[in-house]
Copies of this chain bind each other. A is one copy, B any other.
Amino acid sequence: MTNSAQAPEDFCEITPTANIGVTTHGGRAKCLQRLVRLDMPVPLTLALSFGAVKDIAEGRMPDTARMMASFGDAPLVCVRPSSQDPDWGGPRAVLNVGINDARHADLCKQIGEEAANVMYLRFVKEFAVHVARLDPDMFEAPKSDSAQALAHVLNAYELETDTPFPQDPAVQLAQVLRSMARAWDGTTARLLRSASGAPADAGLGLIVQKMALGVGPGESGSGRIHFVDAVSGKPAIVGRYTRQSQQHETEVPENTLYIGRDPRGPSFQDEVNDVFNELVDWSGILRQRLREEMQVEFTVEQGALCVLDAIRVQRSSRAGVAIAVALANDGIITRNDALLRTQPHALSELLHPQIDPSADRSVCARGIAASPGAATGRLVFDSATAQANAARGEASVLVRRETTPEDIRGMHAASAVLTEKGGVTSHAAVIARGLGVPCIVGATDIKIDSRKKQILTQDGRVLSEGETMTIDGTSGEILFGAAKMVEAAQDGAFRSLLSWADDVREIGVRANADTPADAAVAHNFEAEGIGLCRTEHMFFEQDRLTVMREMIFADSSADRHAALDRLLPMQRNDFIDLFDIMAGKPVCIRLFDLPLHEILPATREGLHDLAEALDRPLSEVTQRVDAISEFNPMLGMRGVRLGIEMPEIYVMQARAIFEAAIEMGRRGTPFVPEIMIPLVSAKREVELVKTQIDGVAAELRAHGASDFDYRLGVMVETPRAALRAGDIAMNASFLSFGTNDLTQMTYGLSRDDAGRFMSGYVQKSVFPEDPFHMLDHEGVGELMEIGAARARAARPNIVLSMCGEHGGNPESIAFCCAAGFDYVSCSPFRVPVARLAAAHLAISQK
């Protein structure tokens, strides 16, 4: 029955035992308490809680006279924000609160008139502009350390407000606190922090700290220091120190001493050796106890160190990985902590060269960032020129209105790709990500004139073939000329981190890889296998394309066989190469899935060449090509439909796969290939293809082939296949959800055509996100859940996976984990992201 409810404490002194929390007083207050607990030389500091600051904003002021009194006789203080997360921002700090005519007079004696003038003048200006909200132009003084300048600003203040400049330190502090509390509620501040992920009710704390002067007699000054390289993350002592200065100067004055031996000037280490050593001593303790690389803000007052603040060192993604791994290796944090400190998306920056963050950017236009990384090259408008440039060792940016399978060779040869049409899952985007080539699609701001070989920008500039441009596929920016680059960074720390990720993650990660080059990347990034090998890309090399076309034009099954017999050894070698590179890891081969007409030429020249190659009249070739064209190729005769209509293709592929497996066995590295049937919508389709393929295997065995094994599965990419997964599973040892097509069909939305309106749709929040980019859990996801449940009910040990473009997204991986999938498969360059994301998920679920 004691009256324990006291009036809430408006403020408290930051002591080792004070009740200070990140969620009540903000990160800066909490960090300062940690410094105090380490017994660092921190000036006396008071903290105002989120609640106290909210009260202030609403007019309930704390006892500022009592606050000022805590600091002793005639103190100067500074006020700084302390939000929960430093990224959420906050109002700017105000220094020298408490200065007035009397204190100024004292300071003149103590530190000299000029320095005293600068301090008073600084406060009056800041107060006038940021607290009293007066016009900054009024407070421009001729020379900022003269008595005349000080008189000018004090006078200007009185003129503008009709009151003298407040002399009572308690009044000054009250007004500063109110101004900062209210700024937190301004629209701009709200928008900015909301963009950084702050909740709408994020609170602000404030700290009031006794000023350490940094100006005056003896060694005095202020600086900041940290002990790690912000770009590489390697140990390094970096910072600067300015004599006779107060903290928070933005410009670097001339009397600055660089920390770390810098050619630009004399060294802090040499000049102020005691303080430097003291800081270095503290650095180890800080890193150990705060479990982070910190930047320390400090003041030297007559030779004595004061630590004012410490914040997490800003760093590049690469440095982030290096720091986290070093902390874990030193036993300061756990490996799981190190994993959680790296955002999966940040890893993509390390896989490709990037534009140097500090470089100038001359932006010409913007498009959709479709494949990360940056590259510079000469503009080319066709694949042949890109290949010719590559032969001369010259980098190209391949520019097309949209790409078709005929451009694949050019995309291989180019350093970057730019298209006017398309979305994140358009042909150009998918292929570029697979190749790891930077790519921008849907750049509707520019007009591409392929005939004139020119790009027309929105502001009327014309860029012609051969001019140099830079494509930033990470940001979607198209830049004029060359840009300074930062190289890719898959160093030891990167590999360590990912191996720790593999130790904890619970879902498999494979790569989508079509070619030996893709497979090599996948293997390098330690994918656990190939989850999707699209065989149709194997047919685009010129010699094969011609044979493929002959096959399509064959009038009989026998003629088709003759053409396919020529493709068989090529396919077999493709598979041997792939199996070899993957060194025993599983490879899932999707049978041919391309609308036939995509193999055929689209241009007049192409038709002419084809007619010549086939030795048939142009008119006949044109008519045949026309006859197999489709209104909606995506919904036409492709995948298993073609496999059933022209069984010879799948038979040849199965034979090539089996013969490759037999060859691997002969070499002493036996291999069990996985064969996947695309675009299934009915159980019977699977039965028919299974019969064909089992037949090929039986025939090979009957003809004395050494024994081999294989697994047959189905790619679930139509809504019906998901709904009928129970039936389909009866003949499939695995199901892989192809979320690109499944999304297309669930929405009734072509990924190639969605680009035209998707950005508008997302802007209007019609779709919360582009469903080709972020898996739609509500629609597509429900079909996947239904499919997974039915498949497992029919065949409990069935292997389930996702192999669409979504496979590398942390959100999709979370979905697949929750649905109990065995693995995800994504483009090779997403494998590290997926491995880390899967680890995050496993840790967060523990």
Bound: A284/B761 CA distance, A: 74
| Known A719-B779, A760-B645: A685·B766 in contact at CB below 8 Å | yes
Nearest-neighbor residue (CB-CB) of A743 within chain B: B720
Q: Are A631 and B723 in contact (CB under 8 A)?
A: no
**In the complex, what's the smallest C-beta–C-beta distance from A430 to chain B, in angstroms?**
14
Q: Are A634 and B633 in contact (CB under 8 A)?
A: no
Which of B681, B757, B783 contacts A641 (CB under 8 A)? B757
Bound: A52/B783 CA distance, A: 56
Bound: A308/B783 CA distance, A: 64
A684 at the interface (CB under 8 A from B): yes
Bound: A752/B636 CA distance, A: 9
Nearest-neighbor residue (CB-CB) of A744 within chain B: B635
| Known A644-B766, A757-B645, A779-B724: A750·B684 in contact at CB below 8 Å | no
A749 at the interface (CB under 8 A from B): yes
**In the complex, what's the smallest C-beta–C-beta distance from A268 to chain B, in angstroms?**
58
A682 at the interface (CB under 8 A from B): yes
Bound: A688/B767 CA distance, A: 12
A707 at the interface (CB under 8 A from B): no
Bound: A684/B778 CA distance, A: 14
Q: Are B724 and A631 in contact (CB under 8 A)?
A: no
When distances are taken between beta carbons in the complex, the residues of chain B under 8 Å from A747 are 681, 718, 720
When distances are taken between beta carbons in the complex, the residues of chain B under 8 Å from A783 are 719, 723
Please report which residues of chain A, range 599-632, place their CB below 8 angstroms from some CB of chain B when the two chains form the complex: 628, 630-632
When distances are taken between beta carbons in the complex, the residues of chain B under 8 Å from A681 are 746-749, 779
When distances are taken between beta carbons in the complex, the residues of chain B under 8 Å from A778 are 723-724
Number of copies: 2
Q: How many residues from A make CB contacts under 8 Å with B?
A: 48
Bound: A645/B760 CA distance, A: 8
**In the complex, what's the smallest C-beta–C-beta distance from A672 to chain B, in angstroms?**
28
A679 at the interface (CB under 8 A from B): yes
When distances are taken between beta carbons in the complex, the residues of chain B under 8 Å from A761 are 641, 644
Q: Are B632 and A756 in contact (CB under 8 A)?
A: no
Nearest-neighbor residue (CB-CB) of A632 within chain B: B750
Nearest-neighbor residue (CB-CB) of A444 within chain B: B627
A745 at the interface (CB under 8 A from B): yes
| Known A685-B766, A723-B778, A764-B688: A750·B645 in contact at CB below 8 Å | no
When distances are taken between beta carbons in the complex, the residues of chain B under 8 Å from A679 are 748
A753 at the interface (CB under 8 A from B): yes
| Known A631-B750, A635-B744, A748-B679: A766·B688 in contact at CB below 8 Å | yes
Q: Are B631 and A631 in contact (CB under 8 A)?
A: no
Bound: A782/B685 CA distance, A: 20
Supplied contacts A644-B764, A682-B767, A720-B780, 19 more A-B pairs, CB within 8 Å:
A630-B750, A630-B752, A630-B753, A631-B634, A634-B635, A635-B635, A635-B748, A635-B750, A636-B749, A636-B753, A641-B757, A681-B746, A681-B748, A681-B779, A718-B747, A719-B745, A719-B748, A720-B776, A744-B748
Nearest 3 interchain pairs by C-beta = A635-B750, A720-B779, A718-B748
Which residues on A are within 8 Å of B, measured CB to CB?
628, 630-637, 641, 644-645, 679, 681-682, 684-685, 688, 717-720, 723-724, 741, 744-750, 752-753, 756-757, 760-761, 764-767, 776, 778-780, 782-783
Q: List 30 A-B contacts (CB under 8 A).
A: A630-B750, A630-B752, A631-B633, A631-B753, A632-B635, A632-B752, A632-B753, A634-B635, A635-B744, A635-B748, A635-B750, A644-B760, A679-B748, A681-B748, A681-B749, A685-B766, A688-B766, A718-B749, A719-B748, A719-B779, A720-B746, A720-B776, A720-B780, A723-B746, A723-B782, A723-B783, A724-B779, A741-B748, A745-B746, A745-B748
